[in-house]
């Protein structure tokens, strides 16, 4: 990659996406290191465009990345718009294109058509395979918080962004009352740590399972909980944690919050639903007495806190563009494209 990369932070087209992959303070760091940073205008982003201008960034209209020079590295978070058909740039974002998800083949086809490259941040990992930039903690935090509020009958819809202080105040209000029995699977990971932190604010000490407990899953013990918060992201197929047949047996389990949202993937550990839920309708009835929360951009409900934490991690990697971390990331993309042929 170029010794002086040109970064282009794009506007997110999803109406509920208010996060930023690079926040103004980190944009200032990049500019100070000689990076040319362009930022698209965005009325919904949690950070004002004036803060990016003050940081030394060039400001351009939303969506103009498609006409940018080919040396620009386009940085975003969630899905790209449906056009252009051919993607010519290097794109850094969460592409969700390597596990057979809906739309994966079409996205990879667009990159193949334009000669561009997908550098999927899910695969930005160290030598041990640990992710170097992730929203996991805040995804777990928000997912567990929503599950608690729903179980108490206090979840207000449609969902709206807020600060951590505001969310914590909601959780703490019911901390002295009766509490659901909550199971967090993946409790030792970043996402699980976030879930357990939110539950602590709510006055709940959850059951925590991780690799040892899921290796030989006690299905009866799982179903005996009131609430399941799944924070496990698998890289290989494993036996499902909950199946449709389990739900048909009339378990005690009444609410499932799938933070991972690996829906439609062959690696999905909760093959009990086929589409995610949303901010307007965050809860879906699966069976009589069993509800689901499966929102695939949970951290955007705490956009400022989540963005600051993520941006700090990502910026450290952007400052080292061209190192083996990025080479590995690109190798995963090349492997996926070859498998398409």
Query: For the chain, which residues make up each domain, given as ranges?
Result: 6-123+303-340, 136-301
**What was the pLDDT predicted at 3?**
60
Report how far residue 285's alpha carbon sits from residue 293's, in angstroms, rounded to the nearest whole number. Answer: 9
Q: What is the pTM of this model?
A: 0.90
CATH number of 136-301: 3.40.50.720
**What was the pLDDT predicted at 341?**
73
| CB neighbour list of residue 229: distance below 8 Å, 6 or more residues apart | 140, 143, 144, 147, 182, 183, 184, 185, 195, 206, 257, 259
Burial 289-326 (b: 16+ CB within 10 A, else e): ebbbbbbbbbbbbbbbbbbbbbbebbbebbeebeeebb
Q: Which of 99, 214, 200 is nearest to 140 (CA)?
A: 200
Just list the catalytic residues. 78, 96
Q: Please list the pLDDT of the chain residue by residue as tens digits (341 residues).
A: 446 789 999 999 999 999 999 999 999 999 999 999 999 999 999 999 999 999 999 999 999 999 999 999 999 999 999 999 999 999 999 999 998 888 999 999 999 999 999 999 999 999 999 999 999 999 999 999 999 999 999 999 999 999 999 999 999 998 988 999 999 999 999 999 999 999 999 999 999 999 999 999 999 999 999 999 999 978 788 899 999 999 988 778 999 999 999 888 888 999 999 999 999 999 999 999 999 999 999 999 999 999 999 999 999 999 999 899 999 999 999 999 999 87
Which residues pair with residue 208 across a beta bridge? Answer: 184
Q: Which of 249, 268, 250 is nearest to 259 (CA)?
A: 268
Q: Which of 128, 158, 129, 131 is nearest to 146 (CA)?
A: 158
CATH 3.50.50.60 fits 6-123+303-340, yes or no: no
Which residues pair with residue 74 across a beta bridge? Answer: 8, 91
């Amino acid at each position: 990659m170029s010794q002086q990369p040109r970064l282009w932070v794009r506007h997110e087209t999803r109406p509920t996406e208010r996060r930023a992959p690079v926040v103004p303070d980190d944009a200032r760091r990049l500019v100070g290191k000689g990076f040319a940073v362009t930022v698209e205008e965005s009325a919904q982003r949690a950070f004002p465009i004036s803060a990016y201008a003050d940081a030394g960034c060039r400001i351009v209209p939303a969506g103009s990345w498609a006409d940018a020079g080919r040396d620009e590295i386009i940085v975003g978070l969630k899905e790209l718009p449906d056009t252009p058909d051919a993607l010519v740039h290097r794109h850094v974002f969460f592409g969700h294109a390597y596990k057979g998800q809906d739309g994966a083949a079409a996205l990879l086809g667009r990159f193949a058509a334009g000669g561009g490259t997908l550098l999927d941040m899910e695969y930005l990992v160290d030598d041990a395979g640990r992710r170097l930039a992730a929203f996991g903690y805040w995804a777990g935090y928000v997912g567990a918080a929503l599950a608690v509020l729903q179980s108490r009958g206090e979840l207000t819809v449609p969902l709206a962004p807020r600060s951590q202080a505001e969310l914590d105040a909601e959780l703490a209000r019911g901390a002295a009352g009766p509490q659901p029995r909550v199971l967090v699977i993946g409790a030792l990971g970043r996402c699980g740590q976030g879930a357990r932190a939110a539950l602590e604010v709510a006055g709940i000490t959850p059951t925590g399972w991780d690799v040892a407990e899921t290796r030989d899953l006690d299905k009866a013990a799982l179903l005996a909980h009131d609430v399941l918060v799944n924070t496990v992201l698998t890289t290989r197929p494993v036996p499902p944690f909950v199946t449709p047949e389990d739900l048909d047996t009339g378990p005690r389990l009444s609410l499932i919050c799938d933070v991972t949202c690996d829906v439609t993937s062959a690696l999905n550990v909760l093959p009990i639903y086929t589409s995610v839920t949303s901010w307007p309708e965050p809860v879906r009835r699966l069976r009589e007495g069993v509800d689901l929360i499966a929102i695939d951009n949970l951290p955007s409900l705490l956009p400022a806190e989540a963005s600051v934490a993520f941006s700090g991690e990502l910026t450290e990697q952007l400052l080292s563009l061209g190192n083996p971390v990025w080479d590995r990331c690109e190798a995963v993309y090349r492997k996926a494209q070859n498998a398409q042929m």
